[in-house]
Amino acid sequence: MRDLSKPDHLPNLREGGQPPEPSWLPRQRRGITPQMIGRYPDYDVFDTAETWDPATARVIAERMEVRGSFAFFTPDEQPTLRALCDVAVAQDAEPRIPVPELIDEKLAAGRLDGYQYADMPDDRETWRLTLAGLDEVTAERHDGYRFAGLDSRSQEAVVENFSKAQLRSASFDRLNITRTWSVCMRMILAAFYSHPWAWNEIGFGGPAYPRGFMRLGPTSTREPFERPGATDEDPVRTVTEGRA
């Protein structure tokens, strides 16, 4: 069983700077996934694109075009945002899902989630304070460095502290740090899993309207458009057993 708690499976983290070992997941052979690896190497959600209605196809096409431009986050904030998103969803090589740009588009358009915690500011202000806080914490811990300038291990350590509500700084002290982690991760994960490349990675069938599903409820029989996984390893169990 591969020990995924060690950094050897991540690019640029092996001792001596040697090239990383191949992933325990196979290389993607059809379609695109983050880093071109995945459990479903012969699956591409776009194979069923002809079943989507025009409105659905248009939304997905617009989502695929989001990349490279920012309307909400400033040039000073963008490197910190990108580094945080990369660590949060383990995107350490191309191709990457443009999570920062998807978040930026949502905030710039004011498409918020329709609610906010009573003791928290607007999500847009929460994001600005979070990015400033990450840089403040990093500067204090690492001789003036910014978060995006840290090596991967150091970034992961800061993010782990963030997840445990263990960060303090002038900006973070203006927030409920526990809720801040929840707000940021909710938006990061929503952006990541809204993208077709993530659907390929997890074998998700994509939009079901107007196609629908033939099987209802728990079943071992796949839909005609689904593909079998190339491995049955449980990644959570793999990491848990590796750390034991």
40-62 pLDDT per residue, tens: 999 999 998 998 999 999 999 99
- The pLDDT value recorded for residue 224 is 78
- The pLDDT value recorded for residue 22 is 57
The pTM of this model reads 0.83
Q: Characterize 172-198 residue by residue with b for buried, 16 or more Cβ atoms within 10 angstroms of its Cβ, and e for exposed.
A: bebbbbebbbebbeebbeebbebbbbb
CA distance 154 to 97: 23
- The pLDDT value recorded for residue 70 is 96
The residue assigned the tokens 């994509």 is: 206
- The pLDDT value recorded for residue 220 is 72
DSSP result, 44-108? -GGGGGGGS-HHHHHHHHHHHT--S--SSS-TTTHHHHHHHHHHHTT--SSS---HHHHHHHHHH
Q: Which helix (H) or strand (E) holds 131?
A: helix 123-141
**Which stretches of the chain score pLDDT less than 50?**
1-14, 19-21, 243-244
Q: Where are the domains of the chain?
A: 7-243
- The pLDDT value recorded for residue 141 is 96
Specify which residues 135 forms β-bridges with.
Answer: none
- The pLDDT value recorded for residue 17 is 53
Specify which residues 27 forms β-bridges with.
Answer: 37
